[in-house]
Amino acid sequence: MTEIFQIFLQILVIFIFCYFPQYYLNFFDLKKQSIIEKISLGVIINIFILLLLSFTNQKNFNLVYIVLIIIFCNNLFFFTIENWGFKLFDTKLIFLFIFILVFSFDLANNLKLGWDPQNFWFFKTLNFIQGGDIYNLKNIPRQDYPHLGSFIWAIYTKISFLKLEYLGRIFYIFFYCVSIFSVAELLNLDDIKKILFSSIIIILTYNILLFNGHQEILIFSIFTLFSKYFYLIIKNNISKSVINYYSIIILLLFLCGTWTKNEAMFFSFTSMLLILCLPKKSSLFRLSIFFSFFFIIALRFLIFKEIGLDTSTIHANNYENLSLLNLGNHFRIDRILLIFKYFFFGLVSNLIYIIAIFVIIFMLYYRKNKTDLFFYFTSLILNFLLILSFYIFSTAPIEWTLKVTIERVTFEVLGIYLIPIIIFINVYSKKVFKIC
């Protein structure tokens, strides 16, 4: 009973930490946002703040506690005055809470960590739980692995009353559910249909193994929210101040992604290429975003160097023996066919890809306005080529690598392709929901 109460309380605490008050949004001339919108933005801000705090001296945890207490009190105050009364009984918020609660109970009954978490990620988490700082990460395996996901895991473990490690991973569940409910806000439908859409996506994508300490679920959530704000920029019917607001969010998402998992840098790069092609946006705007991205990447490597982390292991066990002399071996027919076979299995296992591909093809053929679809079709091709290149140039045992990673790697950017599905529903909603 105590543990059940702790799970319930942990979710409430995360909700408050991840609430972003409408009061601050007013400075961007944004109209009143739904509570889901405010929570999704709050998640991004929360992760960013935790990233900054991760560079402080963890042996003196008082500073972290002080910052967290200030954030909590501020958010609790505004949450109370902005949602007083029946506003607290928001239907979407209730369903979001139920999903998070159910999945948290599922997590509590499935505590086994995955292989990578057992050998790499949890060591980083344990370092922060025990008061170690980022400088101590050089004494932990895979120094090239970024630490943000592990730091979040550690912080939410430390602020829980029972100090059980899985309580820190409830944040992963929270972020996952919020990202899906947030992207559903783009639907031109009533709240019940938005909840229905979110529920279907969650049913199609949920797997308890996603929350066994692997970082792919965080990358999925980051790119799901990126796709939302990228789409809002594409729409062209918003003010300059709002565009700047969305651009800041996108950059924060990329920043947090690069400190979560290495391949996020590569997926972010393909997204940056699309931003360069945005129509009706000034060259200054596009180049500012693009070069800000490269600044984020450069800053990460500079910080790694300052800390003394060895980034040379980024190629360990994967690309360390790659050279021009043996490059031809990577393009053997049998090897290419094997990669394509498992790549196909990876797509089929993530059903959203299949739906998105059919939706994109359908609308490219029948829809008159194809501008927004161009970006998602191009993104699909670029990300698929990028994923394939990961395996084509890998020097690790290829079939074993494909078996254990392909589903997780393809899952990372899956959330981007919820947008074409949403566009389809918005365009053909009368036909899709005529029985409702």
Average pLDDT on 419-427 reads 92
325 pLDDT more than 60: no
> Is residue 429 within 8 Å of residue 189, measured between CB atoms?
yes
430 pLDDT more than 70: no
The model carries a pTM of 0.93
390 pLDDT more than 80: yes
Half-sphere exposure of 289 (CA within 13 A, CB side): 29
pLDDT confidence of residue 404: 86
pLDDT tens digits along 3-50: 889 999 999 999 999 999 988 888 776 777 888 999 999 999 999 999
Cα–Cα distance, 180 to 196 (Å, whole number): 11
370 pLDDT more than 80: no
**Does residue 239 or residue 143 have the better pLDDT?**
143
pLDDT confidence of residue 372: 77
pLDDT tens digits along 214-261: 999 999 999 999 999 999 888 766 777 788 888 899 999 999 999 999
> Is residue 313 within 8 Å of residue 143, measured between CB atoms?
yes
Which of these, 267, 184, 185, lies nearest to 223 by C-alpha position?
267
Which of these, 62, 13, 50, lies nearest to 255 by C-alpha position?
50
Average pLDDT on 121-131 reads 91
Angle CA 208–224–15, to nearest 5: 70
**Does residue 197 or residue 331 have the better pLDDT?**
197
**Does residue 25 or residue 326 have the better pLDDT?**
25
Question: What percent of the chain lies above the pLDDT cut of 70?
Answer: 91
* 425 Cα distance to chain centroid: 23
Average pLDDT on 118-142 reads 89
Can you read off the two tokens belonging to residue 363? 């609308």
Cα–Cα distance, 414 to 408 (Å, whole number): 10
- To which H or E segment does residue 155 belong? helix 148-158
pLDDT confidence of residue 235: 75
- Rg of the chain on CA atoms, in Å: 22
pLDDT tens digits along 290-307: 888 889 999 998 998 888
pLDDT confidence of residue 82: 82
Cα–Cα distance, 238 to 235 (Å, whole number): 7
pLDDT confidence of residue 105: 95
Average pLDDT on 345-356 reads 90
pLDDT confidence of residue 435: 44
431 pLDDT more than 70: no
